[in-house]
Structure 1
Amino acid sequence: MKYASFFCLLLCLLAGQLRAQSGFQVEPPKLFFDEQNGKLTPMRIKLTNPTKVRMVIRASCADWRRDSLGEKQFFAAGKLPNSCCPYLNVQPETVELLPGGEQTMLVSLNPDKPLPAQLHNGMLMLSQINEREIAEAQGVKSGFIFKVQLGVHLYHTPRNVTQKMIAIDTVAFAKTNADRLVRVRVNNTGSLQLESQMRVELTNMKTAEEVKLEPITVNSMPGERIWVRAPLPAKLPAGRYLVITIIDSGPDVPLQVAELETDMQ
């Protein structure tokens, strides 16, 4: 039977454990390599197969960065200047996961020359490479099979790279079709990746009624300037509002606050 392969990439962002459509899992979702006395300690990831079919998983690496909307863009390994892919080592590179079984991979970063004092990162790709075998074992009758990859974030932080800073560049009201939203551009001005929470609070200038929007998670890398969209409630009355935007990146990063007074129609 002829099959058309579909490629499905699931990136490990916030959850402690990932499950692909095929069922294999990997943990942890992120690996942080912090230099201690000029050395990087190897770390292990665990792969688990809770399904009833055998899986073969192969490791590789890719570069990535976010665009202005915060969406990830992927590049060949070593393409970006802050890539850690060229000095990534994974042992073993390929593992067999029997039904109900688990395996570990040892992940190491071993630079062979001095690197610039900046954060380096990459994405460890774990690819299912026996998708045809799995499809046949599961009795797939359609002409489509799914090839699944899970991505584990890799971060290499040199010893003297410690600055955490973020700023709010712009706050604006926008209307697209029937949707109203607050658009906020944040700028990671430090030297480390940040996981922030953005909160938006609105006060009706006429009635003094307050509305607090649901917090939004904002992930950023050094130098990234990202637009974040905060949808407004459909029933929010038109009028003039004071908009307060807060970016909270944790106790060791100054809280960022911006105000905007604007008419919302």
Structure 2
Amino acid sequence: MRLLTALFTLGLATLLLNTASGQGFSISPSRIFFSGNPGETVSQTVTFGNTSKTTLSFITRIQDWDRDSVGTKIYYDSNTKPLSNAKWITLSSNAVSVQPGENKQVIVSLTIPPDAKQLTHSMLFFTQVKEQEAQQKNAAKIGLNVLMEVGVQVYYVPRGLNAGELEFLSFDDRGIYDNGKNKSRRLALKIHNKGNLNKDAFIRFELTNKETGEEIKIKPEVIAMLPDATQWVIVDLPTDLKGKFLAVALLDAGSTYDLKVAEKEIIYRP
């Protein structure tokens, strides 16, 4: 594998929509970044929009989370992870009801502890529920049916953290992969976030047959990485590829970072 650092940058594609939306409603923003001095309480608003014809009701909860080796979010009980900020968060309301055509706001406040020095994060969930009277005759109980759930990532970002860089650690040919239903040729990129800030990045791939010049199209990937995280990005290719190929991966974390390039020569035989 050859790793290169380019001296130019590509425009970072839109990675994550800043508004989470479903049929007839929206919640904005999808990520909140708090910054401030230790001991200070800082606030931002989450806005609900309802374009449906019915009233939408939500209840809230907060959970801890991180990502596994391939970037999938894993959730935990609040205040159980070392970099949790769940217990710092308060809401202006723990339940919200939005009428048809209405926009409504919930204030999210975060009280920064005196010793806060690292980036911390949690997930604020808004769970849509519908009250339904029990169908049993003369029953007085009320049931709650969960319809939809939206998570808002909440970060505390201390001032002066080292941004660092993303870097390629390896570019591996893992051969034929069989999931029991389909087979593919698998490539795997290992990426590390050297900094103390979370980063979004866009990975573009190029695969060229060195004998014929044919270019094989590969779907780009979007990644989001927490500080000091290591993550694998998996690429599955057709099994009928034959010949000598040059695989190139371009890692773009935005205009403030250098473009990273990894190359690997591969021979695919019948």
Normalised by the length of structure 2, the TM-score is 0.80
- Change beyond 3 A, Cα 1:191–1:56: same
My pick for the range that moved more, 149-158 or 209-218, is 209-218
Match of 1:111 in 2: 112
Q: Is the 8 A contact 1:20 1:150 kept in 2?
A: no
- CA positional deviation for 1:255: 2.1
Residue 259 (structure 2) pairs with residue 258 (structure 1): no
Q: Write the distance in 1 (CA, Å) between the matches of 2:208 and 2:53.
A: 55
Residue 242 (structure 2) pairs with residue 244 (structure 1): no
Match of 2:86 in 1: 85
My pick for the range that moved more, 69-78 or 172-181, is 172-181
Q: Write the distance in 2 (CA, Å) between the matches of 1:102 and 1:181.
A: 46
Match of 1:228 in 2: 233
Alignment RMSD (CA, Å)? 2.4
Q: Write the distance in 1 (CA, Å) between the matches of 2:220 and 2:235.
A: 9
Q: Write the distance in 2 (CA, Å) between the matches of 1:124 and 1:205.
A: 49
Q: Write the distance in 2 (CA, Å) between the matches of 1:257 and 1:36.
A: 38
Name the SS for the 1:129 alignment partner. Answer: strand
Match of 2:166 in 1: 166
- CA positional deviation for 1:131: 5.0
- CA positional deviation for 1:84: 1.2
The gaps in structure 2 that reach 5 residues or longer are 1-14, 134-144
How many percent identity over aligned positions?
27
My pick for the range that moved more, 23-32 or 148-157, is 23-32
Deviations 1:96-129 (A, max 9, x none): 21222221011111024322x2211111111123
Q: Is the 8 A contact 1:173 1:264 kept in 2?
A: no
Aligned length: 240
Name the SS for the 2:160 alignment partner. Answer: coil
The match for 2:206 among 201, 204, 207 is 201
Deviations 1:46-78 (A, max 9, x none): 012222222321222111111111111001111
Alignment of 1:1-265 (within 5 A): 14-20=16-22, 23-35=24-36, 39=40, 41-115=42-116, 117-132=117-132, 146-174=146-174, 175-177=176-178, 178-232=183-237, 234=238, 237-265=241-269
Q: Write the distance in 2 (CA, Å) between the matches of 1:215 and 1:235.
A: 19
- CA positional deviation for 1:214: 2.9
The gaps in structure 1 that reach 5 residues or longer are 1-12, 134-144
Normalised by the length of structure 1, the TM-score is 0.81
Q: Is the 8 A contact 1:38 1:159 kept in 2?
A: no
Q: Is the 8 A contact 1:59 1:90 kept in 2?
A: no
* Larger RCO (alpha carbons 8 Å, 6+ apart): 2
